[in-house]
Structure 1
Amino acid sequence: MSRSDVLALGPWAMQVAESVHNLLAMGQRSWLGLLGIAVGSASIVALLNIGRSASDDAMATFKGLGTDVLVASFPGFDSRRTPMPGTLDTRSVHFAMPELMQLAPVSQYAVKVRAGGAELDASVIGTSAALMPVMSLELASGRFISRLDRSGLFAVIGDEAASALGIETRPLRPGDLLGLGDYQFQIIGILRPQPHNPLLPVPVDSSVFIPAHSMARLSSSIRLGHVIARVQPNVDASVAAQSLQRQLQERLRGHEVNVQVPRQLLDGLRRQADIFAWLLAGLGGISLLVAGVGVMNVMLMSVRERRREIGVRMALGARPRDIRSLFLIEAAHLSVVGALLGAAFGCGIAWLFTQLNGWPLNLSFDALLLGVGSSLMTGLFFGCYPAALAARLSPAVALRDD
């Protein structure tokens, strides 16, 4: 664009074009100021997007493990109280609570498991047929425990336990036996590998599942440990948890009942993840403040070197606000270009980091807006003082400057 074209656009276009020319004339100092803004913007955008992607990946993992599941536990056991029963009539609880899809009792006992010539220390889980839909278990072979197996010697094995005992996932035969304590249990099923769920108290892959009433054959001290339930769709899990707690307290008088709602835990994890993301953004903000000081330094050096030019402009009729606008536009140029370059670079860093960790990239518009906006505001804020300093110069003093 020629000078005549710039003049035709008006005084603002002239100031913009002149500010670009002045920044290019400063050379390396302008690039360093721009680089500082870009690094600050990239830090905020990258850290916020990485934190958000990590949070979303963790939330997706937990949500896939069942946020509609309730886990009742019985802390504070005291031997002087009425002993905890070995199992629970969950059918009566289910009848009283139609908002539950299924619920299953869970008791655990550690024992040596034998199959062929192999032995394994494993957890034996005493439960009912309802545990399969409650925990979304899938079978690799055979079947799960049914209501007809009430106190029979039948066992279902988790994937890791089956592999450790050398049990193949072929069609099972009546002769496939599993030694538990002094008894031989018939293997009726082998489970598919199950993702570990830290919200649930059952290590599925490394456990052996038998009917709840059969646990008495292993030990006379077996006690009910948990009750796991799944709520119906469109039912408030928190309300269902309170109802379940009341129902269990009526049946287990003298024992404390604590019902855990995984959805509440996920909400807490989400809040913690958001706090962590904002802490990361705060670290990026520190680098942005350092960049703002760099912009102010560039502009102060520019004012010092151009004092005679400022005096000539004022002598020719330039008003203080014209001088102020010129230097503010230069700071805005550094801020805009640095913020946009930093935002693009920050998105690239976030993409690379998420790809290396196998997370889905979730670019947040809020992160982009905050990164670019804060960079612009920082550049303009730190450019205000040099601009005001230039506008307050006396023409006579400025013209005498060597």
Structure 2
Amino acid sequence: MRGQAQSSLRVEQSLGQLLHEALVSLRTLGKRSILALLGIVIGSSSVVALINIGHNAAVDAAMIFKDMGTDTLVAQFATKGSNTAPMRARLDLEAVRQAAPGIEHIGALTLFSGPLLFHGRTVNANFVGSTDDIKDAMRLVVREGRFLTSFDANETYAVIGDQLFQALSTPGDPLKLGDRVRINDYLFLLVGILQSQPRAMLMPVQANESLFLPAEGMRRIYATPQIGNVIIRAAPEQNMDLIAKQAAAALQTQTPNHEVAITVPQQMIDGMTRQSRTFAYLLLALGAISLVGGGVGVMNVMLMNVSERRREIGIRMALGARQRDIRNLFLLEAVTLTAVGALCGAVLGMTCAWLYAWMSGWTFALATAALPLGVGSTLLVGLFFGIYPAVSASRLQPVEALRDE
């Protein structure tokens, strides 16, 4: 009978009762629990915000190459050693196309820069001597008129980029098709106006700021024109590395005095992805350090809580509470504190990440791992740093605890 009476005192507390007691206990701690909560909020928000910032940085970097297309290659030419031989003014692009069957479009660029005049207005412009296939190789879109063709080789025709077009136009005197713009002593007839093009960082020239001329006509403004780049666009579903190798070999035979280097956008994207992943890991480590600091604060508060409630712990044990009941009570208090901090930190972290993306001019994109990793790691930190105070409370001897005043 006596054993049954003792066992009847050991009444199992429901989770709701434990949670209620945990909240009441944390409320009585006052400022100390608020300070510990603040540390957890800062740590949790740091993890969520830094993961999202790293993710958005990677997305923004990848967008730089998106408009250019991963099916585009850019060939550049550099002199070999001390060789000073000038680059050729013309290349047999059809031979390159035959050497690399996967090529769909290929064009060469001859670059120069200088002042462009129209009705007394002057702007600095890029003059691009181009072959007829450069329009499709660079994904240029004509808004008005047409682009240059092989029949325009000896004509003083030109196609103007959108930004350059806007700079030379005024409300009362807009630039339009059929007008002539002046470069040095030559007048060039506008036969096309390009649509605004997104910036492509790998392209050697920005179309919006350029005036496209027939490659053969570049001698009118530059005595010794030289091909600076070759733009290659591959057919769909092609091996870009193989095409780059074949095209480089074909171009090298035509330019023995120069080194041919071909940039493959996909390789750069892969490299930037690896770099962004490393950057994200670094940011995550910084957030984790902040989170551990918040966890130390939780442990400190819980240890003080145990110290101040020794008499209460002794009374509970005298009334039949077991060690695991005491342990679970204090552990639940620690987890409750960190859970509230995790939720507040998640909201704060998302807000900070959004503000950072907005100020940086990025398009905000939610990282799928941010919330689960941020909230989950916070709860684990609370559980880890709450175990020691909870176990310490459960190991108190009832007689010693009841002696405390």
**Does the alignment reach a TM-score above 0.5?**
yes
Indicate the percent of aligned positions where both proteins have the same amino acid: 44
CA distance in 2, matches of 1:246, 1:281: 44
Q: Give the letter for the 2:93 counterpart.
A: T
1:339 counterpart = 2:339? no
The 1:16/1:81 distance shift into structure 2, 3 A limit, reads: same
1:392 counterpart = 2:398? no
1:178 counterpart = 2:205? no
Q: Structure 2: 5+ residue runs without aligned partners?
A: 1-8
- CA drift at 1:358: 5.4
For the residue of structure 2 that corresponds to 1:184, the secondary structure is: strand
- Please, which moves more after superposition, 359-368 or 8-17? 8-17
CA distance in 1, matches of 2:150, 2:254: 21
- Please, which moves more after superposition, 313-322 or 201-210? 313-322
Q: Give the letter for the 1:72 counterpart.
A: A
Q: Give the letter for the 1:117 counterpart.
A: G
- Please, which moves more after superposition, 58-67 or 326-335? 58-67
Partner of 2:13: 11
CA distance in 2, matches of 1:365, 1:226: 41
For the 8 Å contact 2:67–2:198, the answer to whether it is kept is: no
The 1:96/1:9 distance shift into structure 2, 3 A limit, reads: farther
**Count of residue pairs the alignment pairs up:** 393
Q: Structure 1: 5+ residue runs without aligned partners?
A: 1-6
Q: 1:280 aligns with which of 274, 278, 283?
A: 283
CA distance in 2, matches of 1:9, 1:17: 16
Partner of 1:4: none
For the residue of structure 1 that corresponds to 2:33, the secondary structure is: helix
Q: Deviations over 1:70-94 (max 9, x none)?
A: 1000123567365421121212212
TM-score by length of 1: 0.88
CA distance in 2, matches of 1:126, 1:79: 27
- Please, which moves more after superposition, 140-149 or 15-24? 15-24
For the residue of structure 1 that corresponds to 2:288, the secondary structure is: helix
The 1:122/1:169 distance shift into structure 2, 3 A limit, reads: closer
Aligned positions of 1:39-50 closer than 5 A: 39-50=42-53
CA distance in 2, matches of 1:211, 1:221: 15
1:68 counterpart = 2:71? yes
Q: Deviations over 1:35-70 (max 9, x none)?
A: 322232122112222332343244234312323211
For the 8 Å contact 1:140–1:169, the answer to whether it is kept is: no
For the residue of structure 1 that corresponds to 2:316, the secondary structure is: helix
CA distance in 2, matches of 1:24, 1:81: 81
Aligned positions of 1:169-318 closer than 5 A: 169-170=175-176, 172-173=177-178, 176-318=179-321
Q: 2:332 aligns with which of 329, 332, 340?
A: 329
Q: 1:115 aligns with which of 95, 112, 118?
A: 118
Partner of 1:84: 87
For the residue of structure 2 that corresponds to 1:256, the secondary structure is: strand
Q: Deviations over 1:365-396 (max 9, x none)?
A: 31111101110111111112212222332333
Partner of 1:22: 25
Q: Give the letter for the 1:208 counterpart.
A: L
Partner of 2:174: 168
CA distance in 2, matches of 1:347, 1:114: 50
The 1:369/1:227 distance shift into structure 2, 3 A limit, reads: same
CA distance in 1, matches of 2:381, 2:302: 13
Q: Deviations over 1:314-366 (max 9, x none)?
A: 34444433322221121111122221232233234434544565544322231
CA distance in 1, matches of 2:273, 2:106: 27
For the 8 Å contact 2:64–2:200, the answer to whether it is kept is: no
- Please, which moves more after superposition, 249-258 or 176-185? 176-185
Q: Give the letter for the 2:135 counterpart.
A: M
Partner of 1:372: 375
For the 8 Å contact 2:158–2:189, the answer to whether it is kept is: yes
CA distance in 2, matches of 1:117, 1:312: 96
Q: Give the letter for the 2:243 counterpart.
A: A
